[in-house]
Amino acid sequence: MPKPVSRRELIQKLKRLGFVGPFTGGRHQFMERKGFKIIIPNPHGKDIGSSLLARILRDIEISSEEFESL
């Protein structure tokens, strides 16, 4: 299971993976890569928890080890 990360760190790592954004859309911002959209959690001053981060990584089909090495 991945360790919690800040929203800022999540966005930076997604950009390294080729995602662009974040863009405003509805209630949440999103980032996209080659037509694939991933929802970014709203900033609430806390880190993004392990379970939510694991779901995001599963959606973009990347392992937690690969994510942490970015």
Q: Give first-to-last CA distance, the chain, whole Å.
A: 16
Residue predicted with more confidence, 42 or 13: 13
Arithmetic mean of pLDDT, 20-43: 91
Give the HSE-up count for residue 12: Cα atoms under 13 Å, Cβ half-sphere.
Answer: 8
pLDDT tier at 45 (50, 70, 90 boundaries)?
A: confident
Residue predicted with more confidence, 70 or 12: 12
Domain spans of the chain? 7-68
For domain 7-68, say whether CATH 3.40.50.720 is its number.
Answer: no
pTM higher than 0.85, yes or no?
Answer: yes
Give the residue among 26, 19, 28, 22 at the shortest CA–CA distance from 61.
Answer: 19
Residue-wise DSSP of 13-54: HHHHTT-EEEEEETTEEEEEETTEEEEEPPP-SSPBPHHHHH
pLDDT tier at 70 (50, 70, 90 boundaries)?
A: confident
